Structure 1
Amino acid sequence: MLQRIESLVKGLVVVFLAFMVVQTVSDCNVCQSNQVACINSTSFYLCFGDGTPHRDQLYHCLEGFDCTNLTAICVQKSSQRPPSCGDTTQCGQCNANRNYLFACQSRGIFQMCYGATRPTGKFGYCPSGTVCDATSTSICVPEVTGQTLTCDINDELVDTTTASTVTTTESSTTESTTESTTESTTDSSTDSTVVTTVSPLTPEQMCTQLNATGLFPIIPTDPYCQRYVSCYFNNNVLIRSAEYNCPATSYFVSQTQSCVYVNPGYCL
């Protein structure tokens, strides 16, 4: 009799934990029943009942708390209750891969790094059924239920028209079938808008444009506030330019020209 009671209690506990997991798992940047949209495991936007995340102010849970779809929003971390939105701290980070080969921009979108501190060039897309994984040299690996994702954010939330690409009106064969080109001699049946890649500025180019000594945000701005450029001028001549990364969980603040461990409110 005692064994039956113990088995029944264990079964109820398992059902309760499973229920809690179902109740808290959601999509990133999507308005939940508690009127917030978690953008990562600890940060969120407010929705105000209109189903749209209002991005004018970013809110953060206290250390040790996760963003959830529960009424309290921020709930103490628990191994049995995952946050509503997965971790995005490694999104766009070349150092997430030990060889600095590529950076995951979302679950299925990536950019190459080629040993640099930040990704550049065209956006790559993982085949259906695979996800970007910075721990693998294969870049895209088969998607498995419950796996830890390098950049747990929906592909549609990645702006692939800025930072590394601009849209032009040149004619070319569709990119899904052939390489992009600026020639207009392709068959008109396959004409489409070309996405031409434009590399971000190098440290030297950024410093030349800024024309000042000090530490500054990179150009284009890093939404995660991790990367910054150091410029040193002497008699109006650029002597040194280099790009650096703030330590993990810290943010670069241009006003103080330093990395701080308190999010200034505008960083992802």
Structure 2
Amino acid sequence: MSQRIENIVKGVVVVALAFMVAQTVSDCNVCQSNQVACINSTSFYLCFGDGTPHRDQLYHCLEGFDCTNLTAICVQKSSQRPPSCGDTSQCGQCNANVNYLFACQSRGIFQMCYGATRPTGKFGYCPSGTVCDASSNAICVPEVEGQSVTCDINDELVDTTTAASVTTESSSTDSTLDSSTESSTESSTSSSTESSTESTTESSTDSTVTTEQTTTVIPLTPAQMCTERNATGLFPIIPADPYCQRYISCYFQKNVLIRSAEYNCPSDSYFASQTQSCVYVNPGYCL
């Protein structure tokens, strides 16, 4: 009799746990019944009943708590209850794959890394019925119910209109840019001199005329920015991007610049100079 009661209790517990899982699993960046949209396992936007995540303010659960669709929103982590929006900590991370071969950008979208620390180039798409798996060099593996997904974000939430790589250094490109920069500088100097002469002439005739000077900031190439940094690693661009989307990758060997390139962080993420990586939580100084 006691054995039968024990089996009934176990059955009730299993059903309860299954119900909790069913109640908490949801989609990323989608308004839930508790009027929040979890964008990863610990961060969320508010919805205010209109079915639209309001992205002007991002909220974060305390350490050790997950974002869920429960009334409390942030609930203590539990192995029996996954967060509403699955694990996104390895999204866009080349080091998730042991050979730095590729990075998963969502459940079915990936980019190649070719041994680099950040993905670059065109986006790839897993065939129907498969998911991106950074633990396998096959990239896309058959989708199995209940499996752990490297980057648990729906494909439609990934901006694939542009590749992550913005510019890559090449000697011909730098040469062209340098010559165009010199030409632009000469043209600017000549124009400035003429403008200054005209302004001086006018001011001598009419003392009420004022002269305004406009300073034009010429963007630096990745090679020039890396030369200023003079170190290997990932750094903010120069001048700094207020939205923290763009960064440069520099590689020096024996104090000689070997490779330089400029990249964009995936959408909804920010480049954090402290960790030299793209993160999904605003470091606090980005627009």
TM over 0.5: yes
Per-residue deviation at 1:206?
2.6
Greater per-residue helix proportion: 2
Distance 1:56 1:229, change over 3 A: farther
Q: Number of aligned residue pairs: give it.
A: 217
Per-residue deviation at 1:65?
0.6
CA–CA separation in structure 1 for the residues paired with 2:119 and 2:86: 22
The answer on 1:109 being equivalent to 2:109 is yes
Paired residues for 1:37-48 under 5 Å: 37-48=37-48
Per-residue deviation at 1:11?
1.3
Per-residue deviation at 1:68?
0.3
CA–CA separation in structure 2 for the residues paired with 1:35 and 1:124: 33
Equivalent pair of 1:87/1:150 in contact (CA under 8 Å): yes
CA–CA separation in structure 2 for the residues paired with 1:105 and 1:67: 21
CA–CA separation in structure 2 for the residues paired with 1:224 and 1:148: 30
Per-residue deviation at 1:103?
0.9
Amino acid at match of 1:201: T
CA–CA separation in structure 2 for the residues paired with 1:266 and 1:19: 41
TM-score normalised according to structure 2 size: 0.65
Partner of 1:168: none
Q: Among all aligned residue pairs of Structure 1 and Structure 2, give the percentage whose two residues are the same amino acid.
A: 76
CA–CA separation in structure 1 for the residues paired with 2:154 and 2:285: 20
Alignment equivalent of 1:216, drawn from 222, 235, 243: 235
Equivalent pair of 1:104/1:151 in contact (CA under 8 Å): yes
CA–CA separation in structure 2 for the residues paired with 1:129 and 1:266: 40
Equivalent pair of 2:104/2:150 in contact (CA under 8 Å): yes
Per-residue deviation at 1:45?
1.1
Amino acid at match of 2:64: G
Per-residue deviation at 1:94?
1.1
Task: Find runs of 4+ consecutive structure 1 residues off by over 3 angstroms.
Answer: 202-205, 209-216, 223-232, 238-243, 259-263
Partner of 2:126: 126
Amino acid at match of 1:217: P
Per-residue deviation at 1:55?
1.5
Alignment equivalent of 2:283, drawn from 240, 264, 267: 264
Equivalent pair of 1:30/1:37 in contact (CA under 8 Å): yes
Greater per-residue strand proportion: 1
Paired residues for 1:54-203 under 5 Å: 54-164=54-164, 199-202=165-168
Per-residue deviation at 1:132?
0.5
Equivalent pair of 1:213/1:231 in contact (CA under 8 Å): no
Partner of 1:179: none
CA–CA separation in structure 2 for the residues paired with 1:74 and 1:102: 32
RMSD of equivalent CA atoms: 3.5
Equivalent pair of 1:58/1:266 in contact (CA under 8 Å): no
Greater shift after overlay, 53-62 or 82-91? 53-62
Greater shift after overlay, 144-153 or 209-218? 209-218
TM-score normalised according to structure 1 size: 0.70
